[in-house]
Amino acid sequence: MFETDSEIYQFIVDDLNKIPDKDWVMITLKVKLGIESTGYRGEYINNLGETKWLFNVWEEDRNLSKAFHKLYEIMTAETDKHKWNRLKVTLIKDGDLNIKFEWDQELADEIEEAGKQYDPRWDDTLTKEEKIKKYEEMVANGELLDYSKINIK
């Protein structure tokens, strides 16, 4: 779907342009990037200077989430020097796009801890054998779906 960061930036601009009413002046979107999820909080300012919230506008649009995950993949392909898990997108009506990337260690720790509780294969405090055993027990007890049998391409 996306090959370059330029394609992703253009997609973000196009996607954000579809959201508010036609009289917007500036859109601000704050993003939290999780392992397989993306959290959004957005608002826009209309031509009267009023701030309006963007509510649940991305629930049905998984492509924006894919774009942010692909952007992360591109930025960290060679080194994790450019890793981030939060970003703030600001789009001005004239097309000016500004993206501020940030690393939030507290958010990263929360995501890692949630991953450990959800799937023991994320828990680095366990040995490989312990991870497998705990995972198989959780699948057998119905606490987890057996993701090992899902073929993702």
Q: Poorest-confidence range of 69-83, 93-107, 139-153?
A: 139-153
From the centroid of its chain, how far is CA 151? 22
Beta-bridge partners for 45: 26, 51
**Would you kindly state where each structural domain of the chain is located, as residue ranges?**
5-103, 106-145
For 85-119, write each residue's pLDDT tens digit: 899 999 998 889 999 999 999 988 887 777 666 67
Highest mean pLDDT out of 20-29, 30-39, 91-100: 91-100
Asked if residues 10 and 64 have their Cβ atoms less than 8 Å apart, the reply is: no
Q: What is the CA radius of gyration of the chain?
A: 19
Write the CATH number of the domain with boundaries 5-103: 3.30.500.20
For a pLDDT cut of 90, what percent of the chain falls above it?
A: 22
Secondary structure element (H or E) that encloses residue 14, with its range:
helix 5-17
Mean pLDDT of the chain: 81
In this structure, of 20-29, 51-60, 62-71, the range with the lowest mean pLDDT score is 51-60
Whole-model pTM over 0.85: no
